[in-house]
């Protein structure tokens, strides 16, 4: 079943429910209002008539068919008798007086009905009286008391003809209105849905034509200012993200292939040269050392690629615990001092404050090692590297500042990209595949922190690593 068919089915059911709900509400509301009107009219006539009987005008005689009784009701109540009647009945059930349009005997009441009247209560009852009409009559039986003595009761009846006419009129109205309303609603719903579905079908057709090599394409956005326009804009934003992601994947694959192909080429060249002629043991040893260096470089690249792949798949667990940040930095800087001396760079890390963070010590060592090593590698002869711990309201900040070559302004936003090197001309001399800072960024963000870089080309750089403080 298509979405269009499902929509029309649910739309029709909803329209039927709404129309039915309001139709029944209108019907029962109108009928209730009519019935309440009749009941109130009967009651008011009963009360007024009772008052006339208990306090009659002078020379007034109560008798069945008495014209004066009819005239009195008409004069005082405006009751003409065309749509109902009034009858006075004694307590023993005899008709004492009635309007001239009624000659039938009183409606017989049971002992239970009389007991109700004797308690000064009234009640209504619907019956058929051919003398009045053929649609039925609603009668109000109302007690007559004089000085707390039960004298009899009133039969005040009104025709139900108007209620029947109203009921039939409403039924005829619903028979006409409901199909017309249903048809118009369906027509409008179908038009609106078809108009909206047209854009969806167009979008579906356009997306089917897209391939991995055509992610630069964008779907035309409708001019309407509605949710459909937002959908098209969201699709275009998604396509832009996919285009960027695919470009990064292609670049990543190309860079990874290049980084792995370079040491393999060197190894192959070294072996071919060694096999061309007899060489001394020392020469063979030099060749093997060079091959071993390239193998180590390949191993580091593969390990970094594996780490990045697992990080992207969220398969690496960060094992956090409470550690002293200054202890890790003191130990690490002491080890890297040898490397700094070999590069003729001074490494300063004195008076680090005693602070604790909640982190994975092995991963933090990896971050600090990479950043401090870079500060030493990309420094000038006789340069300096300063390691310090500062803090703000929410974080401890490890700052690594160097007096090295610095980073160009246009490269700062790219240094955390995979395989990116700011100084590509020195990559073989300094080493590295351009994955270190990308891994550092992932590790720090996994700890809820971030890395900030400030640099002036030719003067040095400052890397600030923000790590959240332990909550109290």
Alpha-carbon distances of 10 from 16, 17, 392, rounded to whole Å: 10, 10, 58
Write the CATH number of the domain with boundaries 227-312. 1.10.287.130
pLDDT digits (tens, 9 = 90+) for 95-153: 877 776 665 678 888 899 999 999 989 999 988 765 555 567 889 999 988 888 888 89
Distance CA 108, CA 456 (A): 113
CATH of 3-165, one of 3.30.450.20, 3.40.50.720, 3.40.190.80, 3.40.630.30: 3.30.450.20
- 345, 383 contact by CB (below 8 A): yes
What CA dihedral angle connects 387, 392, 395 and 400, to 10 degrees?
Answer: -20
Distance CA 40, CA 34 (A): 10
460-468, strands of its sheet edge to edge: 346-348, 384-391, 395-402, 460-468, 450-456
Q: How many CB atoms lie within 10 A of CB 137?
A: 24
- What's the confidence (pLDDT) of residue 397? 93
pLDDT digits (tens, 9 = 90+) for 173-186: 888 888 888 788 77
- What's the confidence (pLDDT) of residue 275? 83
Within 13 Å and on the Cβ side, how many CA atoms surround 62? 20
Q: Which class in CATH covers the domain with range 321-468?
A: alpha beta
Q: Phi and psi at residue 366, in whole multiples of 5°?
A: -65, -40
- What's the confidence (pLDDT) of residue 428? 47
Does this model's pTM top 0.85? My answer is: no
Domain ranges in the chain are 3-165, 227-312, 321-468
Q: With a cut of 50, which residues of the chain have pLDDT below it?
A: 63-65, 425-429
């Amino acid at each position: 079943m298509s979405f269009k068919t499902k929509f029309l089915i649910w739309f029709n059911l909803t329209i039927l429910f709404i129309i039915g709900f309001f139709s029944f509400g209108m019907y029962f509301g109108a009928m209730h209002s009519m019935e309440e009107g009749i009941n109130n009219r009967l009651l008011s006539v009963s009360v007024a008539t009772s008052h006339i009987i208990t306090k009659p005008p002078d020379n007034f005689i109560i008798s069945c068919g008495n014209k004066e009784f009819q005239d009195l009701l008409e004069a005082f109540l405006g009751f003409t008798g065309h749509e109902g009647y009034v009858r006075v009945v004694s307590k023993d059930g005899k008709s004492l007086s009635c309007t001239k349009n009624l000659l039938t005997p009183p409606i017989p009441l049971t002992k239970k009905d009389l007991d109700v009247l004797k308690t000064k209560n009234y009640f209504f009852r619907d019956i058929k009286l051919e003398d009045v009409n053929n649609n039925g009559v609603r009668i109000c039986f109302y007690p007559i008391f004089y000085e707390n003595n039960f004298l009899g009761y009133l039969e005040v009846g009104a025709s139900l003809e108007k209620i029947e006419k109203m009921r039939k009129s409403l039924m005829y109205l619903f028979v006409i209105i409901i199909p017309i309303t249903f048809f118009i609603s369906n027509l409008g719903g179908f038009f609106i849905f078809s108009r909206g579905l047209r854009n969806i079908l167009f979008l579906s057709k356009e997306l089917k034509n897209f391939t991995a090599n055509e992610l630069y394409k964008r779907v035309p956005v409708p001019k309407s200012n509605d949710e459909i326009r937002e959908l098209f804009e969201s699709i275009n934003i998604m396509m832009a993200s996919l285009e960027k992601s695919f470009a990064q994947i292609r670049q990543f694959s190309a860079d990874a292939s290049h980084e792995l192909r370079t040491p393999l080429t060197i190894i192959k060249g070294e072996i071919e040269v060694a096999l061309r002629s007899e060489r001394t043991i020392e020469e063979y040893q030099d060749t093997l050392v060079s091959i071993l260096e390239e193998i180590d470089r390949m191993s580091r690249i593969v390990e970094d690629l594996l780490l990045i792949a697992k990080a992207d798949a969220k398969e690496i667990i960060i094992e956090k615990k409470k550690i002293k940040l200054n202890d890790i930095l003191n130990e690490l800087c002491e080890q890297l001092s040898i490397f700094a001396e070999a590069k003729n760079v001074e490494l300063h890390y004195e008076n680090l404050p005693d602070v604790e963070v909640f982190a994975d010590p092995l991963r933090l060592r990896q971050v600090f090692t990479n950043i401090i090593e870079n500060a030493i590698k990309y420094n000038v002869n006789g340069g300096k590297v300063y390691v310090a711990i500062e803090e703000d309201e929410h974080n401890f900040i490890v700052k690594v500042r160097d007096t090295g070559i610095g980073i160009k302004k246009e490269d700062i936003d790219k240094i955390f990209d995979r395989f990116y090197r700011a100084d590509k001309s020195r990559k073989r001399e300094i080493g590295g595949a351009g994955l270190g800072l990308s891994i550092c960024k992932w590790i720090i963000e996994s700890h809820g922190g971030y890395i900030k870089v400030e640099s002036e080309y030719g003067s040095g750089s400052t890397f600030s690593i923000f790590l959240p403080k332990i909550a109290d």
